Amino acid sequence: MTPSSDNYPKALIRPVQYRDLDWLEAMTTETDYIAQNSVSFPEQLQQVRRWFGLLKFLSWFPNSFQDHFRVYVAQLPQTSQERLKGFIHISPFNMGRSTWRVERVRVACAQGEAELLTNPKGVGSQLLRYCLENVWEARTWVLEVNINEKNTLALYRQNGFQPLAQLTYWLLASDLLQTLAQQNSELPNLLPVSNADAHLLYQLDCVSMPPLLRQVFDRNPQDFKTRFLMGLCSKWQQWFHQKEVAQGYVFEPQRKAAIGYFKLTLSQDGSQPHQAQLIVHPAYTWLYPKLLAQMAQIVQKFPSQSLELVSADYQHEREEYLEKLGANPIEHTLLMSRSVWHKLRETKPEGLHLSEMLQGLQAVPRTPIPSRFSWVNKAVNLSEKSNINPQQPNHQDDYNAFESSEKIDQD
């Protein structure tokens, strides 16, 4: 029997340790390949096993590899022994670390124990709430889940995640790529990507998505720059996994803006499908055939393999073109987000004025309180009749009093 939501035991959540890697590998060998990632989670575990001590040391202070492998495990106390019941893998989504991503949540449950995952007080919910409460930098959380994983989808909805967009992963077969490579792909303003073009790519990324996604992602030009150490590590991973990255963008000289961008992750040995990332300005949808033909020509230089590409439901032209082209939809996922409301910035962009900050100290008009001294009220009445301000001294009366005192002294 599965425990009810009222008496479910509270799990001990702690960072992952080296002795937990075997259990993590056993939990993720069958599932857990995330499309659009150059390295799958089992391969990442093998890398972490080699460099676990160094990564643990780098996680103690701010650096580029601080959150390279940030995993928390849930340890459920038992009568005889303590065993692991689940884990969560998270990572920062942008360079500003204001948005974080839930890579995966896994709970060790049997076939008839789905309640351990969907229970509002179960291990899955405890792992999510632990991250929402303890990652103080995060103001927004995003994740991606397959629409067929009903239990995992229910877990995210119970913890406040709402859908942002529906993503479709397409597979372009090798024979289709050969046909596309024969088309004309002349792009006179196709330029290579460097750190100097980060601002152009940032503007293209902002204009290619709805305002809500732009606010959730919270990217800046630094997200499109490659740091030296990260670039060096990426080159080493590409060499180790026999992969190569090709990228470029289309520059519009009249508007002085980038209108198209693509990034190809190519498999040199042909063991995995090639993966592509494509961004096109909404006003230049005619770039889709040109950029796909350009990518197909680059793919022909490598072993024959299919190409993976993703599209969102707000990119209607891309989905229509891929359907017309004959691409095969292989997976449908849901992009979800959750804002941590008590961590949101409550200051206005232009700053607070002093009058807004000191509203409680402003004078409020109210009726005067009657005084106990009668002569004050008489002085006020006399000043009102003579239209003289009682706060200003009457110099004429002082002069008359001075003359009368001189006459008395002379007498």
Where exactly are the structural domains of the chain?
A: 12-160, 168-333
* CB of 234 closer than 8 Å to CB of 37: no
Which CATH superfamily hosts domain 12-160? Gcn5-related N-acetyltransferase (GNAT) (3.40.630.30)
Element holding 283 (H helix, E strand): none
Q: What is the predicted pLDDT for the residue at 354?
A: 45
Looking at 21-171, list the stretches that DSSP marks H as alpha helix, in order from N- to C-terminal side. 21-28, 41-50, 52-58, 115-118, 123-134, 150-158
* CB of 141 closer than 8 Å to CB of 101: yes
| Count of CA atoms in the C-beta half-sphere (13 A) of 131 | 31
* CB of 102 closer than 8 Å to CB of 337: no
| Count of CA atoms in the C-beta half-sphere (13 A) of 218 | 20
Say if residue 357 is exposed, middle or buried (CB neighbours under 10 Å; 0-12, 13-18, 19+): exposed
Looking at 61-167, list the stretches that DSSP marks H as alpha helix, in order from N- to C-terminal side. 115-118, 123-134, 150-158
| 12-160 and 168-333 in the same fold | yes
**What would you report as the CA-atom Rg of the chain, rounded to the nearest whole angstrom?**
34
d(CA 23, CA 85): 10
* CB of 117 closer than 8 Å to CB of 109: yes
d(CA 392, CA 385): 15
Which is nearest to 258 in space by CA: 321, 198, 336, 172?
A: 198
Which is nearest to 116 in space by CA: 78, 172, 155?
A: 155
Which is nearest to 104 in space by CA: 41, 59, 15, 62?
A: 41
pTM: 0.75
CATH fold label, 168-333: Aminopeptidase (3.40.630)
Beta-bridge partner residues of 167: 312, 333
Structure tokens at 266: 């190519």
- From first to last of the 411 residues of the chain, give the pLDDT tens digit: 444 445 677 888 999 888 888 888 887 754 454 444 445 777 778 778 877 777 787 778 777 777 888 899 998 776 434 688 889 999 999 998 999 999 999 888 765 555 667 777 888 899 999 999 999 889 999 999 999 989 899 999 999 999 999 999 999 999 999 999 998 878 888 999 999 999 999 999 999 999 999 999 999 999 999 887 777 877 887 787 788 999 999 999 998 999 999 999 998 888 889 999 999 999 999 999 999 999 999 999 988 899 999 999 999 999 999 999 999 999 999 999 999 865 444 334 444 444 444 554 555 555 555 555 444 455 445 555 555 444 445 555 544 554 555 554 454
